A and B are shown apart, each in its own frame.
Chain A
Amino acid sequence: MDSIGVLMACPMNSYLEQQLDKRFKLFRFWTVPDKSLFLASNKDSIQAVVGNASAGADAELVEALPKLEIVASFSVGLDKIDLAKCKEKGIRVTNTPDVLTEDVADLAIGLMLAVLRKLCESDRYVRSGKWKKGDYVLTTKFTGKEVGIIGLGRIGMAIAKRAEAFSCPISYYSRTKKPEINYKYYPSVVELAAHCDILVVACPLTKETHHIVNRDVINALGPKGVLINIGRGPHVDEPELVSALVEHRLGGAGLDVFENEPYVPEELFGLDNVVLLPHVGSGTVETREAMADLVIGNLEAHFQKKPLLTPVV
């Protein structure tokens, strides 16, 4: 298969890169000085694109690659892929569901604990060397807090399962109510926000869910409420979020994703009720290897004319 051209959209994982290099003819898109020239010269050689949460296959790229057969995403999110375009052209699309569900859910709970129990602030305080007898950091209890989940898919359910172990009552918003689920359903995100202490974004990013956390939702969550985003940056109206936090209209936030990664609004840097992470939801050695194996597995299955492991389209 080493004559099959695979275009890797951006650096994402050295193990994956090595494996792709070994098995296919790998083109590293980010090393190319002139992308349009490169595409024009190599368009007939590229049969697969490997993307991730940062870069995938938009309509323009798909159009530029007439021999493209499959887009394999090193992510579960598909917002960087023009799915309609791929469907139209009969291009297969795969992602990496399930293998990263636990890591993302673990991180969501980790962020909740970090924000409420001020883990990062406490650590900073001790590291400053200024701890004097009698000083400590007063925090907010996590056990028993009401957790509201936007999107009750695999990741949302995994977050709910973990939060329940802390006796947190669970409520959710979803496009449709799930009759087999025992958690409290709210028909709108604003209502969900008004009735929970911690709101977590766990749905896919689509046109409909763009800015699903807006000013109204942030206001409903309120000065004691905490927002956790392990979805995609564009789920949240970022400037609104920043002003709410700076003005203390929102109690706190734990954010793994941002509208314009890797750029994070600097106004958030000095806030001790905000924890910021560099999009590490699935960022463990174990899971990234499993994700890479899934990408390779899907590509090999496709080119060997076997059933895809985790097809989306």
Chain B
Amino acid sequence: MKATAMTSENQSRHSQSDLPYVLILKPPPSFLLFGDHFLDSSKFQYLKAYESPLPLPQFLQEHAQSVQAIFSSGLAPVTAETIRLLPRLGLVVTTSQGLNHIDLTECRRRGIAVAGAGTILSADCADSAVGFLIDVLRKISAANRYVKQGLWSSQGAYPLGYKLGGKRVGIVGLGSIGTEVAKRLDAFGCSISYNSRSKKPLVPYTFYPNVVELAANCDALIICCALTDETHHLINKEVLSALGKDGVIINIARGPIVDEKELVRCLVKGEIRGAGLDVFEHEPDVPVELFALDNVVMSPHCAVLTTESFEDLGKLMVGNIEAFFSNEPLLTPVSLDG
């Protein structure tokens, strides 16, 4: 790759020790897929905690004075303990869409800037959500299995699905991802409503002040909000009951937003129509009861994991870190105001 060639040339001219350090706690998925030099820059170097035999606290103590930034892919939490061991830490960048793995309170306290994925992953998340909804209603994965097992020719026509057009879609969390989902489903003739922490004045969709009311008034509930203390088990027995037996739930946000035990019970008993799930409460463990259900479509937490997103995110993260070390404004700063 061109960037790699340029980097090795530059490194032969600069002394390695001149470049500021960016700490990586665990290897990010992009390293595993595209190699260690995927995120190289001529303006900084990586300090890979995972390559050291030392336990993390010791490693951090040893390098306490060198680390000015942490790059997190979301696989390793950036805890208050970690932050406290790094007095020179000024920036945490993450490629993850969610921020619940970073102790934002501690960052705010210390004046540490945080840069995220911005809206760069929103399209992929939205595409997944829409894909799941069509799949569940039209039984795409289930019918594909049917055909590939040779059952079309031996057992005949597959049971009918349900029309997407005209369905009432309720979006939980109308942020960047929720907005992209709404824009797409609007084109399919769905009517959109939402619940968010606050009503959005310029938006043409119907606002419901709580999720139970939203669920009672929609045919498909799509979870697009962040995981916080307030949203833990937001989708509970009451919400699922309000959604009802013709309702579908799609979760491309975080597993713990949904009371998984209750969801599984509803699905097994036929109390809701179906579900599309990219995330689970205890990944990679998935309730085995779901494996027998044709009205459930699942994926292994990869709603944002497209080749294009890796490339775009990589460039964005490097850009944020370079901006930080050049004292320029971050490209995608996260507001830490509570």
A-side residues, CB < 8 A to B, are 102-103, 106-107, 109-111, 113-114, 117, 119-120, 122-127, 129, 131-144, 161-162, 164-167, 261-264, 266, 268-270, 275-278, 280, 283-288
Contacts and interface: CB of A to CB of B under 8 A. Distances in A.
Nearest to B130: A113
9 contacts: A110-B135, A114-B131, A126-B286, A136-B301, A138-B305, A143-B123, A166-B184, A264-B147, A264-B152
B41 to A, nearest CB: 23
A140 B131 contact: no
A166 B184 CA distance: 6
A114 B141 contact: yes
A285 B160 contact: yes
A141 B124 contact: yes
Contacts of B291: 127, 129
B75, B134, B139, B297 — which one has the most chain A CB atoms within 10 A of its CB? Answer: B134
Interface stretch (B162-170, B193-201, B207-215, B228-236): B162-170
Contacts of A119: 131-132, 135, 140-141, 297, 299
B288 A129 contact: yes
Contacts of A280: 138-139, 143, 158, 160-161
B144 A277 contact: yes
Contacts of A133: 283-284
A117 to B, nearest CB: 5
Interface string B140-162: 11011111101011001110111
Contacts of B29: 134, 136
A241 to B, nearest CB: 15
B165 A102 contact: yes
Interface residues of B, number: 60
Given A136-B302, A262-B156, A263-B153, A107 B138 contact: yes
Contact of A165 (B187, B286, B300, B310): B187
B309 interface: yes
Contact of B140 (A120, A134, A136): A120
Nearest to B147: A276
Contact of A139 (B32, B152, B305): B305
B307 interface: yes
A140 B306 CA distance: 5
B279 to A, nearest CB: 11
Given A109-B134, A114-B135, A167-B123, 6 more contacts: A122-B300, A129-B288, A134-B29, A134-B75, A138-B310, A263-B153
